[in-house]
Structure formats: C-alpha cells, structure tokens
Amino acid sequence: MPKVLIVDDEPLIRTLLEQSLEEFAEHGVAILTAENGLEAVEIIERERPELVFLDVMMPKMNGFEVCDMVKKQLQMKDICIIMLTAKGQEQDRIKAEDSGIDFYITKPFSIREVIEKVTEILKIKL
Amino acid sequence: MIMSKLFKKTLLIIIVLFAVVAVTTLLSSGWNLYNGLVAEYTSKGTAIARSIASSSVETLLNRDAATIQSMIDQFTEIAGVSYVFVVDAQGEIVSHTFVPNVPNEIAEIKLSKNAVPTDIEIGNGKYIDISAPIVEGAVGFVHVGMDKGLIMSQLESSMMRQFYLLSVIFIISIAAAYFFVNRVSQPLNELAEYSRRVAQHDFSHSIEIKSKDEVGLLAGTMQSMASDLSEVFDRYERALKDAVVELQSTLAYLTAVIDHMADGLLVSDIDGIITHVNPAMSSMFNMRENDLIGKYCGDLFGEGLAAIVQKSRYNPEEVYTVEIPLVGGRTGKAVAAGVLQDYFPLEGPEKGIGAVVLVRDITAEKEVDRMKTDFISTVSHELRTPLTSVKGFTEIIKKKLEEDIFAQVKSADGRPARAIKRVRDNINIILSESERLTSLIDDLLDVAKLEAGKIQWRTELVSVADVIERAHKATSALFEKKGLAFIKDVEPDLPPVVGDRDKLIQVVINLLSNSVKFTENGSVTCMARSDSNEIQVRVADTGSGIADTDRQAVFEKFKQVGDTLTDKPKGTGLGLPICRQIIAHHGGRIWVESELGRGSTFIFTLPKAEAPAAREEAYIINKETITHA
C-alpha cells in the first residue's frame, strides 16, 4: 500500500491535507504525519513513503535540510517530495531545485491542485 | 670717516690734472728760462769778445803778449766768463786764461772764424764759445767761453723754487678739494643710504639735509616719495592682510564644512587619482588621509567606484551612483558627479577635470529596508498559513456539502433550496475573497521586493507582440466573462526590447485586467507602435475613465480611484505601482490618458534593444546594486 507523509508544524495544515487526502485513505493509501523535520526524516527512513508533502519553515530542521538529507545522504531518490512554499520566493525555488525537490505547491494551495498532483504521482484512480 | 667713491674719483682726477698742469708749467718755464739765460750769456760774451777785439788790435800788432794776457785776465773775473783766449791770424794762441795748459778741445775751435756762438765741452764742463774777429780777422780772433754750468745751476735753483711752490699749492688745493667734495658727498652718502633703506621698504629713518641746493631738493623729494610709498605700502599691506585673513577664514570655513560632513567626500582627477578626502571618508574605509591621497581610487575602493568616476569624467553633466562595501561589513552609496572646467573652453571629454564622489553610509537604511522586506515576507508567510486553512477547509466544506449533503436534498424548492443557494453563494464569496486576499499578499510581497531591489531580473531579448499575446491569453477568461471585445493592433516587425519577459507580461496582464474591471461594455484595445528609439504600448478601454485629479494617484500604492466607502474596491491597489516599478526598471515610462466617462488609455514605453551599450551599462550598474544588496 502506498504511503504519503505530511510534514508541517502547523496542525491545521496537517489536518487540512489529511482531509484533502481522505479519499485516497479510503482507497488504502496510508497517511502519515510529522510535525518537524527530524521526525520527518525518522519516518521516511522507517516507512519509506512514496510521496512527502514538506513544509519549508519548520523548527529543528527545515524543509530543504530534510530534502537534502533524504535525497543525497539517504540516497532515497525515488521518494517524490512536494515542497509547500510561499509564492514568489524565487531564491527559495532555486534552493528547492538544488536540493532535489520534485514539485512545489504554493500556499495557499487549492485542494483540487493537491488531489490532481497525488493522483498523478500515485497513479491511483479515485 | 670713509672716503666716498665720488670723493676718491674726484681726488684722483684733481691729482692727475694738477700733475699734468704742474709738469707742463715747469717744463715750459724752465725752457724759457734756459733760453733767456743762454741769450743773456751769449750777448754778454759777445760784448766782452768785441770789447777785447777792439782794444787789442794794437797790442796784437805789437805782439805784446803780456799786455794781452793782463787784459784778458781781467775779464775772467766777470761772472759767467770761464775762459778767454786770443788767436792770431795764423791761428796761434797768443794769449789765454787756461790753467795750466790749453785743453785739446780748444785746438779744434781756435781756427773757427765763425762769429756764431758754439757749444763746446771741455772736460766735464759745458761752455758757449763766442768769437769776435780782430780787424775783420786780419789780425786774429778773440774767443770768450761762457760757463754753461752756471746757466744750469741757475735753472736748477729756479726750477726747485717753482716746484716747492707748486707742491704747496698742490697740498692746499687737495685739502680744499677734500673739504669741498666731502661737503658735497656727505649728504649724497646719506641720501644713498636712505634710498637703500627705502628700497628695502624700511621707512623708519629720515634724513636731515637742509641745504637749498639740488642735493637738498633731491633729499626733500625723496623723503616725500618715501612717505607716499610707505603709505601705499601700508595700505596694500593692510589690504593684503585683510584679504589673507578673509581667505583663511573662508578656507577654514570650507575645510570645516567638508571635514564635518557626515558623508564621505572624495575628489579625484580625471585619471581617478585621489586628490582630496575628508575625515568621514577616511574613517569609512579605516584608512589615513595620507594613505589615500595620490592613489588610484579603483585600487582602494574597487572597480565600481572607479567606473562611476570614469563615467562622470566623460559625462560631467550626469550623476552616477553605485553601492560600495565599507569597512566592518557596512554598505555605502557612492554618488559621483563630474567637476567641470569652466575656465577653458575645452572640447570633448577633457572638459571634465575630475570627479567629486560623495559616499553615504546606508547600512542603516539597508538594514531598515531589509527589516521591512523581512517583515513583509514574514507577515505574508504568517498570513498564508491561516489563509491556507481558510481556503482549504472552505473548499473541503464546499466539496462535502455538494457531494454528500446538497445531493441528498431532493426537494429543490422552498426554504431548503433557498438555504442551499445562500450557503453555496456564501461559500463562493469566502473562496473568492480568500483568492483576493492571496493576490493582495502576493502583490504586497512583490512591492516589497521591488523596493528592496531583491528581484532577480532576467535580461533577454523580448518580443512585445509575444508579451501582448501571452497577456491576452491569460486574461481571455475575464473578457469572456464580461462579454468585452479585445482588439489587438500590433505593428508588424516590431524590434525587440531587452528585459524580463515574465515581468512585462505581468504589466500587460495587469493593464488588461484593470481595463476589464472598469469597463462594463464596449472593448479593450491593445496597440503597439515603434517610435524613433522606443516602443509604445497602449491599452485603451471604453470604461468609466479617471478624473483629472486622480490620474497621478492611480500609480500610488493602495490607491483606487473613486469613493472606497460606496464603490466596492476591485483589487489590491498595488497593480499599477508594481507596473510602474517594472517599467521604470526597463528604462521606460508609464502614464495614463483619460477623461471621466470616456474611457482610459494606459501607455507605457520601452527602449528598443538597438543601443546595446547603454543597456549593458544600466545592467552592470543594476547588477552591482544587486550584488551588494
């Protein structure tokens, strides 16, 4: 069963994403959550999810560091990482591309956009 | 007392003149005396000889030598007569007064029948021999010898007397000359000393010459001239002193102004060699003034500063700015202006003789800017999280309602139907308002970044036709929604511009959506024309138009024309200020032409890409700004 990890320090954003992906959960996708970077890395190492929603600004370890750790140090290149970033932060985008981010979604995002992206990546027809 | 040169010269002339006169007088009087004495002796001798001749005829005839001897012996007693002798017709000496013998020299002249006196020398003595014939020479001749030595001794004593007299006269006249010359030269000496002092601008002395002659007149004139001169000098000295004091105080004032300027000041010559810096400048770079003067500014402050110094040399009328790093990680803003040479009408770049650079420490401003940008970034980020929740949960609510609840309500009339419609409308309002809030935050972030210079601008060749096309595509939904016509009028083969394609598209989108927003019916025309050196883009609508008073305000932040209390605001009020910033960055202008009720036309210009040098320069300076930002 595919696993999706949601990493954000804001509980409401985690809840929002969980609710958005509710239908995927009904189709057997496991939804995991982490509230900071360190926890995220632990879960990724342990659970090896197919898809990670990763916030940028987080305590302990930020999104770029998590991405860098996963893609370069842990060599888990097949994990798809979607960065949740603010619009217009070009420098952040360059950093995101450097650290091996696959996609980015700007906050505030639309639920439709999230569902479309997950459908595309997990290749699950709802 | 020192003899004056004048006196010495005069004395020498007097001595020489006197000597010449004395010698001449002495010689001529001596010569005259000599001639006189010779004549006197000759005539005396002649008289004696004749007297003897006339009285001795008989005696001779009788050959009474003893009588003749006694007679001639008497004559030797007469002064000057040295000898007497008588010769007979045969030339034999009958009688003579020579002691003891007749000298040999007499033998030579004893036969002379000449009556002319003859000079002879006997031994060491010189004599004048005078002969007189006795009876025409038939009986004999009488010879009388007059002593010439007596003449010489008489001449000598006379000459000596004259010499003594002349000597006395000479001494007296030298003394007199000394006295006179001294009397004349003493005031002249004083005058000379006085004039020497005057020449050295020493007016403290005066001269006491009261005589009425030329010297006195000269002294008086000189003294009055000196006092005039002294006055003039005093006046000029005072004026000079005043001028120097004034100059010093002006200089001190200027130096104080420059030294106490908060901004750093640097003056360089045309080669970029530093000629002057103020203390603020030195401390900004933590260098001593002496270490800066005479150095090439590029070596000390980097090529950025050297470049603007060079530019202001070639374009002295322009002002160039660049950001440069200061010590301690601080940032300075350097403003360079050319120094114009006004005095000489030189041609070309040589007109500028250097550059003045002002450096202001803008670290604090940069920090404030950075804080502002950070603040806006943080705020916008912090706003995004709740906004994401609002938007996201609303979308979920909407989805759940539509799919799970509204679908279950079969009776599509009465209260439930109205309630469903109300809830649906309200949810849509929440969603569109959160969209509006999102774009407000986005625009706010854009403005903050533009103002902080934190935008990374692309520099590429951009086709204006392409920009308009893309902007039209992005806004086509808006046109369809309001049923407005879009008219495109783009001149074929427009030259490209240099800039950031996405940002230019953003400008046109903004203008088009604005036009749509304020136009209820009619059309929006987008026109592009090539001008002499720029491209002009016009977006004209048939909407409500803008009043005169509001025309400039539309480009100000958070301004929307009209009454914000009664008119529902449509947008963030940041679109046009962003457009203005973007166009300004590209070196263009943006403005609006409008009349209330008759539509508005927004026009912007962009320079053509044909002047690459100018563009490149602007780009380099901007790059510099970004690098140091």
CATH number assigned to the domain comprising residue B519 = 3.30.565.10
Look at residue A21 in the predicted model and tell me its pLDDT: 93
| Chain A residues with CB-CB distance to B445 below 8 A | 86-88
Q: Which of B378, B380, B389 to mutate to test the interface with A (most CBs of A within 10 A)?
A: B389
Looking at the structure, do residues B51 and B91 belong to the same domain, yes or no? yes
Considering only alpha carbons, which residue of chain A is nearest residue B448? A88
Looking at the structure, do residues B302 and B334 belong to the same domain, yes or no? yes
Cα–Cα distance measured from residue B110 to residue B141, given in angstroms and rounded to the nearest whole number: 8
Cα distance from B382 to chain A (closest Cα, Å)?
10
Looking at the structure, do residues B128 and B18 belong to the same domain, yes or no? yes
Inter-chain contact A87–B393, Cβ cutoff 8 Å?
no
First to last CA, chain A: 15
Supply the range of the domain harboring residue A71. Answer: 3-122
Looking at the structure, do residues B421 and B508 belong to the same domain, yes or no? no
| Chain B residues with CB-CB distance to A12 below 8 A | 385-386, 389
| Chain A residues with CB-CB distance to B377 below 8 A | 86, 89
The number of distinct structural domains making up chain A is 1
Looking at the structure, do residues B530 and B414 belong to the same domain, yes or no? no
pLDDT in tens, B124-175: 888 888 888 887 877 788 888 888 888 888 889 998 998 899 889 888 888 8
Cα–Cα distance measured from residue B193 to residue B198, given in angstroms and rounded to the nearest whole number: 9
Inter-chain contact B381–A86, Cβ cutoff 8 Å?
yes
| Chain A residues with CB-CB distance to B390 below 8 A | 108
Looking at the structure, do residues B467 and B535 belong to the same domain, yes or no? yes
Looking at the structure, do residues B152 and B294 belong to the same domain, yes or no? no
Residue B334 has pLDDT above 70, yes or no: yes
Looking at the structure, do residues B394 and B314 belong to the same domain, yes or no? no
Supply the range of the domain harboring residue B539. Answer: 455-628
Residue B209 lies in a domain: no
Where a domain ends, among B384, B417, B447?
B447
| Chain A residues with CB-CB distance to B380 below 8 A | 86
The 3 state secondary structure assigned to B182-201 is: HHHHHHHHHHHHHHHHHHCC
Inter-chain contact B389–A12, Cβ cutoff 8 Å?
yes
The number of distinct structural domains making up chain B is 4
Residue B246 lies in a domain: no
B128 at A interface, C-beta within 8 A: no
Look at residue B152 in the predicted model and tell me its pLDDT: 87
Q: Residue B321: give its domain's CATH number.
A: 3.30.450.20
Inter-chain contact B388–A108, Cβ cutoff 8 Å?
yes
Look at residue B352 in the predicted model and tell me its pLDDT: 67
Pick the more confident residue, B374 or A70. A70
Residue B32 lies in a domain: yes
Q: Are B333 and B362 in contact (CB under 8 A)?
A: yes
Residue B62 has pLDDT above 80, yes or no: no
Looking at the structure, do residues B293 and B373 belong to the same domain, yes or no? no
Q: Residue A113: give its domain's CATH number.
A: 3.40.50.2300
Cα–Cα distance measured from residue A100 to residue A73, given in angstroms and rounded to the nearest whole number: 12
Looking at the structure, do residues B463 and B439 belong to the same domain, yes or no? no
Beta bridge partners of B268: B274, B355
Where a domain ends, among B401, B426, B447?
B447
Work out the pLDDT band at B628, boundaries 50, 70, 90. very low
Q: Which of A92-101, B300-309, B417-426 has the lowest mean pLDDT?
A: A92-101
Where a domain ends, among B388, B418, B447?
B447
A85 at B interface, C-beta within 8 A: no
Burial class (CB in 10 A: 0-12, 13-18, 19+), B446: buried
Residue B616 has pLDDT above 50, yes or no: no
B442 at A interface, C-beta within 8 A: yes
Looking at the structure, do residues B301 and B431 belong to the same domain, yes or no? no
pLDDT in tens, A46-69: 999 999 999 888 888 888 889 888
**Residue B256: what are its φ and ψ, rounded to 5°?**
-60, -40
Looking at the structure, do residues B339 and B392 belong to the same domain, yes or no? no
pLDDT in tens, B513-565: 888 888 888 889 999 998 888 899 999 998 888 887 777 778 876 655 554 44
The ipTM is 0.89
Inter-chain contact B445–A110, Cβ cutoff 8 Å?
no
Inter-chain contact B388–A19, Cβ cutoff 8 Å?
no
